[in-house]
A and B are shown apart, each in its own frame.
Chain A
Amino acid sequence: MMSPEQAVLLDVQENGATAAESSAEKTDAPAVAITGLHKSFASQIVLNRIDLTVGSGETLAVLGRSGTGKSVLLKLIIGLQKPDSGSIRIHGQEITLLDLDALNEIRKKMGFLFQHAALYDSLTVEQNIAFPLKRHTKMTESEQRDRVKELLAGVGMERDLEKMPSDLSGGMQKRVGLARALALEPGILLLDEPTAGLDPITSGEIDELILKLQEEHDMASVVVTHDLHSAKTIADRIALLHDGNVLIEGSFEELEQSDDQFVSEFLKRDS
Chain B
Amino acid sequence: MTLMPSSTLTSVWSPANRFLEWFGDLGFFAWQVLRAAVRRPFEGRELIRQLDEIGSRSFPLVALAGAAIGAVLALESRSSLVQFGAKSMLPAAIVFSIIHETGPVVTGLIVSGRVGAGIGAELGAMKVTEQIDAIEASGVNPYKFLAFTRIVACILMLPLLTLAADFCGVMMGWIANTLVEPISFHKFINQGLAGTSFNDFLAPTFRTAVFGLIIGMIGCFQGMRTQGGTAGVGLSATSSVVLSSLFVILADVILVKLILVFFS
Contact = CB atoms under 8 A, between A and B. Distances in A.
Interface of A: 75, 78, 80, 100-101, 104-105, 107-108, 110, 112, 114-116, 118-121, 131-132, 135-136, 180, 184
Contacts of A184: 138
A108 B136 CA distance: 10
A145 B32 CA distance: 33
Contact of A104 (B126, B129, B134, B141): B141
A104 B143 CA distance: 13
Given A116-B130, A121-B131, A107 B137 contact: yes
Chain B interface residue count: which class? Answer: 10 to 19
B18 to A, nearest CB: 17
Contacts of A105: 139
Interface of B: 39, 41, 125-126, 129-131, 133-141
Given A101-B39, A135-B41, A107 B129 contact: no
Q: Helix, strand, loop or mixed for chain A's interface?
A: mixed
B178 to A, nearest CB: 45
B131 A118 contact: yes
B149 to A, nearest CB: 13
11 contacts: A80-B133, A80-B136, A80-B137, A116-B130, A118-B134, A120-B131, A120-B135, A121-B131, A132-B139, A135-B41, A180-B138
A131 B139 contact: no
Nearest to B125: A121
Contacts of B41: 135
B139 A135 contact: yes
A78 B129 contact: no
Nearest to A128: B134
B134 to A, nearest CB: 4
A112 B138 CA distance: 8
